[in-house]
Structure 1
Amino acid sequence: MKPAPLKIVADENIPALQTLFAPLGELHTRPGRAICRDDLLDADVLLVRSVTPVNRALLQGTSVRFVGTATIGTDHIDLAALTELGIGFSSAPGCNADAVVEYVLSVLLHLAEEQGFDLWGRSVGIVGVGNVGSRLATRLQALGIRTLLCDPPRQRSLSVDEAARFCSLEQLLSEADIVSLHTPLTHSGEDATWHLLQAETLAMLQPGSILINAGRGPVIDNRALLELLQQRDDLTLVLDVWENEPAVNPALAAHVKIATPHIAGYSLEGKLRGTWMLYQAWCAFSGVRVQQSFAQLLPLAEVAEMRLTEKAGLLPPVRMLYDPFRDDRALRASLGVPEQQQKVAFDQLRKQYPIRREFSALTLQLPTDQQSIFKALGFPVADAKK
């Protein structure tokens, strides 16, 4: 008797599903927030993004034997339930880390130009030094910008010499001019990050500092943040994630300098890499030979080269690839309507997000003596053509 074909249920917003997974069996796509147990009764594989809570109630009694999330974070996945149910699992750690790093770098360069400050005269505190935070630190340090690192569980796992590079959250908040959050979301234990920044810790932010959250929304108590912003007008806020998303508090957004709809990691490379990592994981889980390469998925960039003059500065090539104020305008245009409409608009902004390429897609032609700083930023460089 011929075995039933593999049935794959997937969030419709995961890219390259047709290319990578349709050849493996029957592919059924659904809106991520709408995936339910009935969809999975006879499914073998479930592929999700961060908007689908995956727990015992969703999976028990179904035929699902493998779950994959095309995201770095796993706070929407009940890992204990998967283990107890004997279901295989894979996430995509690091898939969009470079995209988030470049979101932060772009934000900083845009704000430095708009507010007229020297980024090299500031110190950047990075809270959470995993895939994203460590890469952000590497680029900032290569640029010669002072960084402070805070990650207690990671610090405890290091040697004494390596751990000395880290500091407490209190020290970071008391010294950093810029604070960038990149922690996972955890709710219990000594290293819980839910409301890591609440009224007491938010009050430690230095006068005139910049706070960026491109990690998980509930790491900041948004109510306490709004109360602080109503009392202090010296802070600059950049929020890509929100405590109750897809709902965005319009009152909070009004105090935020750059407000975006959870798209910091939405580069084309990052999204395709996430799907590719799940494809590799499924092949390993099922014993199927990998048939396709990541390079086959990635198209050529619309603009692949750019020549810079000596006085161009760092911002022009960054702005060509990504301008965070474009996403800010799009999100603000969706506010001021009833909450349910606003939630739908938030998801639509993510679903219909325009193609955005990473710095690696644009080769810069410039004089040899200017190449090191652009390499540190993350661009491929070549000698300027005569």
Structure 2
Amino acid sequence: MKILADKNLPLVKELFSPFGDLSLISGRDIKNENLVGVDALVVRSTTEVSKNLLTNTSLKFVGTATSGIDHISVDELTKRGIYFADAKGCNANAVSDYCLSAVATIFGDKISAGHILKFGIIGNGSIGSKLSGKIKALNWETLICDPPQKDKDTEFFESVSYEPLQHLSSCDVISVHVPLTTSGKYPTKNLIDKTFLNSLSDKTVLINTSRGGVVDEESLLDSLNQNSQLISVIDVWSGEPFCNQQLVEKSFIATPHIAGYSGKAKKTASIKIFKEFCRCFNFDFSEVASPHLKLENIPVRRDSIKFSDAINQVLPIMDFSSEFKSLLRNSEKKDRASIFDTLRLKLSGRYEFCEYVAPKKLGQKETEFLFAAGFKS
């Protein structure tokens, strides 16, 4: 059996090499000619699995170690009878950590003072629901918008506060967690458009960790230029690995698609795809993957640490943003895609909040925030 995989997937050699002839290359370099005689393909979001890629191949399995699948032509895989697997939900904790780190960075003083935020979540799938659970643990007001899920499961929404999109415009924070879709009853391309942006309250924080293209970048840039109090936190970009340089500069926090890039999330995704690979080919994976999921138990340095410092030690989101902005600002346009990918790889593998022990001697509200976010006591 021949297996081709993205070389940047964690555990890929340990998991897949015992089951076939494994070749590893960069995800962006995977082309149709690389798939001659290949039975299984394992990718990340950097590989576009399209009709052109699949033409005249003998693939039996395609797996992507990502939650989003807008880079995969699922219809084409179905048409060809190719087994498909994704890693939906594996990065839910990591993305939640990123969002809460941004919130703590922006609202640290208000959180310390017990201020209750109004939080809007667009998309209540595996990531959105994970984040909303943590927000609800803080007793903050939470508004959720997810029309497709409401259509599918009306009983589910009896336990949440479902609102149409326009009702979220009064929230202090709006966090986007939807797939990028261009068809169907509820397409999400440019979901966050000029009309919605113009309706936002002053000092609204808009966080996008879903996919580039869900937010209309030109409209967001116009809004940021017109409303100096609007705060954007952007981790995903249209046309990655290229991104809108002006939007990078205008965003309060800008990062190269790293929200879901924790070590635990990446390993969990690889293991999930490996298990689906085994199911496809009737291999016995038994307990081969279990040793790789051991969580750490890391103390945050110094007992009397400030709340903002505790978050910054664990996920220094402002440092990540500053480095990203600086590297792009001082580069030529032709080098920016490489900078995006290199920095993304460099910033991957971080620990999650659930692997840290919260510092003592913090205020009650600060401690409540850390525990709700997932820190250990």
TM range (shorter): over 0.9
Match of 2:346 in 1: 352
The secondary structure found in structure 1 opposite 2:18 is helix
Match of 1:322 in 2: 315
TM-aligned CA distance change 1:259 to 1:119, over 3 Å: farther
The secondary structure found in structure 2 opposite 1:218 is coil
TM-aligned CA distance change 1:116 to 1:339, over 3 Å: farther
Q: 2:243 aligns with which of 248, 251, 264?
A: 248
More relative contact order, 1 or 2 (CA 8 Å, 6+ apart): 2
TM-aligned CA distance change 1:211 to 1:372, over 3 Å: closer
Q: Is 2:324 the counterpart of 1:331?
A: yes
TM-aligned CA distance change 1:73 to 1:354, over 3 Å: closer
For normalisation by structure 1, the TM-score amounts to 0.90
Equivalence map 1:242-281=2 (5 Å): 242-281=237-276
Q: Is 2:355 the counterpart of 1:361?
A: yes
Cα distance in structure 1, aligned partners of 2:334 and 2:150: 42
Native 8 Å contact 1:307 1:364 kept in 2: no
**Shift of residue 190, structure 1, vs aligned partner:** 2.1
**Shift of residue 160, structure 1, vs aligned partner:** 5.6
Match of 1:171 in 2: 167
The secondary structure found in structure 2 opposite 1:349 is helix
Cα distance in structure 2, aligned partners of 1:114 and 1:329: 22
Match of 1:379 in 2: 375
Native 8 Å contact 2:261 2:348 kept in 1: no
TM-aligned CA distance change 1:255 to 1:116, over 3 Å: farther
Native 8 Å contact 1:308 1:364 kept in 2: no
Q: Is 2:212 the counterpart of 1:227?
A: no
**Shift of residue 366, structure 1, vs aligned partner:** 4.5
Cα distance in structure 1, aligned partners of 2:122 and 2:222: 22
Q: 2:76 aligns with which of 75, 81, 84?
A: 81
**Shift of residue 313, structure 1, vs aligned partner:** 5.7
Deviates more, 1:315-324 or 1:100-109: 315-324
TM-aligned CA distance change 1:331 to 1:119, over 3 Å: farther
**Shift of residue 120, structure 1, vs aligned partner:** 3.4
Identity %: 34
Q: After superposition, what is the alpha-carbon deviation per residue over 1:183-220, rounded to whole angstroms, capped at 9, x for unaligned?
A: 11000122100000111111111111111101111001
TM-aligned CA distance change 1:118 to 1:51, over 3 Å: farther
Amino acid at match of 2:323: A
Deviates more, 1:273-282 or 1:151-160: 151-160
Match of 2:7 in 1: 12
Q: Is 2:196 the counterpart of 1:196?
A: no
Cα distance in structure 1, aligned partners of 2:229 and 2:147: 29
For this pair of structures, how many residues does the alignment match? 373
Match of 1:65 in 2: 60
The secondary structure found in structure 1 opposite 2:250 is coil
